[in-house]
Amino acid sequence: MPALDTWLDQLITRGGTDLHVAVGSAPMARVGSEIVALDEMTLDVGTVDAWLFELIDVGQRDAFDKTGDLLFTYSHRADSHFRAHYAACSGGSRAVFRRRLASVEPEQLGLPDALTAAAARGRGMTLIVGPRGSGKSTTATCLLQAIADDMAVHVMVIDSPVEVPIVGRSAHVTMKEVGIHAPTLGAAIDAATAEDVDVVFVGNLNDGEALKKAMDLTLEGAQVIATMDAAHVVAALEIIATSVPEEDVPALLSALSDGITVLAAQHLIPKADGTGRATAFEILVGTGPVRSALREGRIGMVSALIQAGQSDGMRSLDVELGKLVSEGIVTLDDAVGAATDPESFTAKHGS
């Protein structure tokens, strides 16, 4: 058993999410909102290198030596997977292992009905956004596993690294890692068009060319579930609109208006009692008015459409955060950090 597995076991036992390993420090774990030491030892260069390099192959070691950076997925147990990030730093190597939860049911995550319904629809694009570490991949895994459990379809997972552990109980599942099975994200999406796919997951859909190709997939009849780094719904739309040359923006927003079923933003907020984190969702549903606004490039209207679309399953992030504050689940200070309009949120919910 690799030496590092002992510390990953401790992380899991304590209910932590991230293991930090670095020269000059003890093994550390993120438990809730805090970083805590798992031992009193101080790690030296030899120990850290031995722990980290035991987990990777020669090709990965060469890549790390050349770039000082390595991202991959490590399967600790059959039901325990981690996204590992190695980095060369002053004094030696360091790594962070972020736990990827085994498949869970939508009810366990508290996923909004509009989001689960969109994923079950079998068409269009479901886009899940949020800051890094907000649980986007866990949400996507939950949606994809539900599809793989219930539908006799071809599901393709495209990511770098592949960190969505899907088991094809009813579905046929193909895993494609960018950099190994395809040179670029765009090339991997192109390949999907020739591989008779029904559902495609695209991780980190953050460049305009790949985004346009993913939109084209939906127009060809495939369902696309994707993630993107963005703080909230409007921020995601602004990123999309600036990801291509100005003359291409109308066509991209028009394609998005045709394909989008749900755009969901999620945040993980530390609970006030220190027992974990609460999830707040913002939901934009692809209704007629939303599609019209996107087609006409009126991104500034989206916040008002969310406010007016509660009967269609839409949710305002600031309203959801306000509920968490009023119920004492999270503190005002932590909620303000995730709010779309911090000043107005503070004025409304501050005592």
Look at residue 341 in the predicted model and tell me its pLDDT.
Answer: 93
| Topology alike, domains 4-100 and 106-349 | no
The reported pLDDT for the residue numbered 260 is: 94
* pLDDT < 50 stretches in the chain: none
Q: Model confidence over 8-52: pLDDT tens digits? A: 999 988 888 899 999 999 999 988 778 899 998 999 999 999 999
Measure the CA–CA gap between 92 and 50, rounded to whole angstroms. 12
Buried b / exposed e over 92-109, threshold 16 CB at 10 Å, is bbbbbbbbbbebeebeeb
Residue 122: its pLDDT value, please? 85
Digit-coded pLDDT (tens) for 303-338: 999 999 999 999 999 999 999 999 999 999 999 999
Cα atoms in the 13 Å half-sphere on the side-chain side of 265? 24
Residue that has been written with the tokens 């068009």 in this structure: 193
What's the rounded Cα separation, in Å, for the pair 8 and 77?
10
CA distances from 31 to 35, 37, 107, 137, 338 (A): 6, 10, 23, 19, 20
Q: 4-100 has which fold?
A: Beta-Lactamase (3.30.450)
What pLDDT shows up at residue 106?
A: 65
**Quick check: helix, strand or coil at residue 297?**
coil
**Domain residue ranges in the chain:** 4-100, 106-349
In CATH, 106-349 is 3.40.50.300: yes
Per-residue confidence (pLDDT) for residue 110, from 0 to 100: 85
